[in-house]
Chains A and B, each alone.
Chain A
Amino acid sequence: MKNMGEAIREVLDIHGRLNVPSISLTDDANLYEHGLSSHASVNVMLALENAFGEEFPDSLLRKSTFQSVDAIREALISMGISADVFVGGEK
């Protein structure tokens, strides 16, 4: 089981096509500066929905939502997901 931050990083490592492992990035690092493309951020969005069982509302479907681990965490919390939630993840 993983906490929210770990689950986000796992999704980024599998779907984000980052040019470095997410573990080497701080929570506020700009993911778009580390290889995240718009196309990959859509795949990240879908994988996060799968992992957390909640759909992103239309108002959050913009690039800035997926700009950093912090931004993603903030978005998930705004969707009513507890920051302390533990998820099974994809693996």
Chain B
Amino acid sequence: MNSNDFRNQLLEAGVLVDAGSPGLYHRSADYESVVRALESYVREAGRDDNPQRLFFAPVINLETLMGSGYVGSFPNLIGTIDSFDGDMKKLGEFRERVDSGGEWFELMSHTDVALCSAACHSVYPMYKGATLPIEGLYFEVQANCFRHEPSMDPARLQSFRMHEFVYLGNPDGALEFRERWIAKGQQLLGDLGLVLDLVPANDPFFGRGAQIMAQGQLEKELKFEITATISSDTPGAISSGNYHEDHFGVTFSMSTHDGHVAHSACFAFGLDRITLALYYAHGFQLEEWPDEVRERLALGQSSHFIEPT
């Protein structure tokens, strides 16, 4: 199947509803019940570390976005937020332009908030200037994320949920955490009947320096992706394990207990991509999914079933 066929079938089955922009969809209650089931499923696997659990707003502080490094490296993917901040005189002109179909956008002003690019970005600023405890810090976080990548391929959503496990501490701890989660992630996702691969990966850096950045990331094995078929026969990433080295430690002046720059790592579950991969693998009717998958996700149980409206 190609991604266009899969998209059409998702729309026909009512799993997704076109929300007017490429890569933007309303989601059915069934779809949402899978997302929430996945959330509970991966949470169980993360209990050992007793992480601090936080759910971030879809909008973040602009400084948080700046600190992530995304503004410089992925200016084409980020989203900043504008609003009207003018006086009555400017409002008159603004309304005139809105009513006449004119260029009203240029009368808007930047705000100090932006859309979230990745869930874990909101963790690091909370510990700005902090000295971390010897055992490190563990988090389980989730956010609605935005990437400006308009596409008709349902695997490439502009708005999606990312559920992450994050570690802050020393280099050995960060690498151990990432390796442990990559293994755990493969087990969890494989148990849902998905055919997986684990591949070294790089982020889609912007511009002429992209290949240099990508080469650096690949050589140091900073990023691994767990891939599966999501919307076509060509696999894509449904999860990733990342070692940031001291990137966030330097940016936010975080130190280990013995005075070194803190390192960090994260493991991200792409909840929407995993959900789509499950639909792709098991079909559009949840009732027809394999019993073991339904059981593992506890699908249909009241804890995450949302009554269709």
* Interface of A toward B, CB cutoff 8 Å: 37-39, 41-42, 45-46, 56, 58, 61-63, 66
Contacts and interface: CB of A to CB of B under 8 A. Distances in A.
B216 A61 contact: no
A39 B69 CA distance: 10
Interface of B, helix, strand, loop or mixed by DSSP: helix
A56 B208 CA distance: 9
Contact of A63 (B73, B208, B219): B219
B281 interface: no
Contacts of A66: 212
B208 A39 contact: no
27 contacts: A37-B216, A38-B212, A38-B213, A38-B215, A38-B216, A38-B217, A39-B73, A39-B213, A39-B216, A41-B209, A41-B212, A42-B209, A45-B208, A45-B212, A46-B209, A56-B208, A58-B208, A61-B208, A61-B211, A61-B212, A62-B212, A62-B215, A63-B212, A63-B215, A63-B216, A63-B219, A66-B212
Nearest to A45: B209
Interface string B244-267: 000000000000000000000000
Contacts of B209: 41-42, 45-46, 61
Nearest to B222: A38
A45 B73 CA distance: 15
A42 B208 CA distance: 8
Contacts, number: 35
Nearest to A63: B215
Q: Which 10 A-B pairs have the closest CB atoms?
A: A38-B216, A42-B209, A38-B213, A63-B215, A61-B211, A38-B212, A42-B212, A63-B212, A41-B212, A61-B212
Residue among A39, A46, A56, A62 facing the most chain B CB atoms (10 A cut-off): A39
A19 to B, nearest CB: 12
A46 B72 CA distance: 13
Contact of B211 (A37, A39, A46, A62): A62
A63 B213 CA distance: 8
Contacts of A62: 211-212, 215
Contacts of A56: 208
A49 B215 CA distance: 21
Nearest to A38: B216
Interface string B71-95: 0010000000000000000000000
Given A39-B216, A46-B209, A63-B216, 17 more contacts: A37-B216, A38-B212, A38-B213, A38-B215, A38-B217, A39-B73, A39-B213, A41-B212, A41-B216, A42-B212, A42-B213, A45-B208, A56-B208, A58-B211, A63-B212, A63-B215, A63-B219
Interface string B206-250: 001101110111010000000000000000000000000000000
Contacts of A58: 208, 211
Contacts of B69: 39
A39 B212 CA distance: 8
Contacts of A37: 216
Contacts of A41: 209, 212, 216
Nearest to B211: A61
A38 B214 CA distance: 8
A40 to B, nearest CB: 10
A20 B216 CA distance: 21
B67 to A, nearest CB: 14
A35 to B, nearest CB: 11
Contacts of B219: 63
A61 B213 CA distance: 10
A79 B253 CA distance: 40
